[in-house]
């Protein structure tokens, strides 16, 4: 099994709660009308986020309540197709073709121009050990757009200019 090198500490189990949690009995109300504008743009292959006039925080995907100052943002702003990896983790799985479980990346990305992050897909089977915080990405749009978030098929890693700059610095020194 491929071991992650940076996991050094094992935390003891501190508390155990017995019982069941009936998740399916919970009901959520979500008024999709308020993000219709975002969905319509997705259908056209465009991105818009919601900007809060009070604190200038831009959320993508749009949040109906500002995560910073709790006001209701109402200003739509266009965003670029590029994003960066904000943080990531690995989940061990054995996909077809794997002889033993290996880590698959689970990434939270931040769309360029937005202040919030969300979970998104990298290309299928992307090597966990190639992922890093700050890795630049670009949207790969779905062929048939439906006007929902599945129109973003995945985020494709793109060339990172900072790597070339670091290399240049190393050779100069």
- What is the rounded CA–CA span in Å between residue 112 and residue 107? 15
The interface region with Zn ion, picked from 61-69, 96-104, 110-118, 143-151 by CB under 5 A, is 61-69
Among 65, 69, 158, 163, binds Zn ion (CB under 5 A): 69
Q: In the complex, what is the shortest distance from the CB of residue 63 to Zn ion, in angstroms, rounded to a whole number?
A: 10
**Residues with Cβ within 8 Å of residue 22, at least 6 apart in sequence:** none
68 or 140, CB closer to Zn ion?
A: 68
Of residues 29 through 58, those in contact with Zn ion by CB under 5 A are: 52, 54-55, 57
Among 39, 41, 61, 68, binds Zn ion (CB under 5 A): 68
- What is the rounded CA–CA span in Å between residue 94 and residue 71? 44
Q: In the complex, what is the shortest distance from the CB of residue 66 to Zn ion, in angstroms, rounded to a whole number?
A: 3
The interface region with Zn ion, picked from 59-67, 97-105, 130-138, 165-173 by CB under 5 A, is 59-67
72 or 165, CB closer to Zn ion?
A: 72
39 or 55, CB closer to Zn ion?
A: 55
Q: Which residues are near Zn ion by CB under 5 A?
A: 52, 54-55, 57, 66, 68-69
């Amino acid at each position: 099994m491929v071991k992650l090198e940076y996991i050094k500490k094992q935390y003891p189990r501190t508390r155990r709660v017995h019982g069941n949690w009936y998740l399916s009995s919970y009901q959520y109300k979500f008024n999709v009308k308020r993000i219709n504008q975002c969905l319509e743009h997705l259908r056209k292959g465009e991105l818009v986020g919601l900007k809060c006039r009070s604190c200038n925080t831009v959320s993508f995907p749009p949040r109906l309540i500002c995560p910073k100052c709790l006001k209701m943002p109402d200003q739509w702003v266009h965003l670029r197709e590029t994003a960066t990896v904000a943080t990531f983790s690995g989940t061990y799985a054995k996909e077809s073709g794997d002889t033993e479980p290996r880590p698959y990346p689970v990434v939270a990305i931040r769309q360029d121009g937005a202040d919030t992050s969300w979970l998104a897909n990298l290309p299928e089977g992307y090597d966990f050990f190639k992922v890093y915080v700050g890795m630049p990405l670009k949207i790969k749009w779905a062929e048939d757009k439906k006007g929902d978030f599945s129109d973003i098929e995945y985020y494709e890693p793109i060339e990172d200019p900072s790597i070339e700059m670091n290399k240049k610095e190393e050779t100069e020194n």
